[in-house]
Amino acid sequence: MYSYLIPSEFVRSVFHITPELLVEKGIKAIITDLDNTLVEWDRPDATPKLIEWFASIKAAGIQVTIVSNNNELRVKSFADPLGIPFIFKARKPLGKAFLKALSIMSVKREEVVVIGDQLLTDVFGGNRLKLHTILVIPVAKSDGFVTKFNRIVERRIFSYLDKKGQVTWEEEA
């Protein structure tokens, strides 16, 4: 069970995920969470730095789809100005939204990374489908109601994984 909760990689933020590294690994697509992965859960728009990151990803020929458990208005108002396809009310960790994202981008599982800030939704959902998962540190210290509960559970899981030596964040650059 715990193996489903261990991400393929631990990375401090999306900005540490470069298009060069992804292309080198044969990655053609990204499935990413929105809230507290890309921006704070209560920030309506992308930051200039994030817009620049998306541009570099797109310039490298890598597709992106946002897969979020949030509502349509939240996800659409964020994704539409960026021209990024999205799936809302994804019900992660269930696999249907991840499979839909793969279909939207017409890519194979081994050509995709899943980026998210939560073990119980993003990592668990991606790992169940044998996708490469990347866990990032949440952008904000605060969370919405449901996520607050998940964070309590995650702290216990992190404690267990840390004792086993399985939590390995990248070095600060």
Q: How far apart are alpha carbons 62 and 137 in whole angstroms? A: 22
Please report whether residue 168 resides in a domain: no
Q: Is the pLDDT of residue 162 over 90?
A: no
Judged by DSSP in three states, 44 sits in: coil
Query: Would 54 be classed as within a structural domain?
Result: yes
Sign of CA dihedral 41, 44, 46, 47: negative
Q: What is the CATH number of the domain that holds 40?
A: 3.40.50.1000
SS3 track for 56-87: HHHHCCCEEEEECCCCHHHHHHHHHHHCCCEE
Residue 172 placed within a domain:
no
- Residue at 169 is within a domain: no
Model's pTM, two decimal places?
A: 0.87
Please tell me the total count of domains within the chain.
1
What tokens appear for 151 in the block? 């964070």
In this prediction, residue 172 has a pLDDT band, given cuts at 50, 70 and 90, of very low
Report whether the peptide linkage leading into residue 93 is cis, meaning its omega lies within 30 degrees of zero: yes
Cβ-in-10-Å burial (0-12, 13-18, 19+) of 119 comes to: buried
Least confident of 40-49, 58-67, 130-139, 158-167: 158-167
* Inter-residue contact 157 to 4 (CB < 8 Å): no
Is 120 domain-assigned?
yes
Is position 171 within any domain? no
pLDDT in tens, 13-54: 999 999 999 999 999 999 999 999 999 988 999 999 999 999
Mean pLDDT across the chain, nearest whole number? 90
Helices (H) and strands (E) in the chain, counts: 6, 6
Q: Using CA atoms, how far apart are residues 171 and 173, in angstroms rounded to an integer?
A: 6
The pLDDT value given to residue 157: 76
DSSP string, 136-157: E--SSS---HHHHHHHHHHHHH
Domain range for 82: 2-163
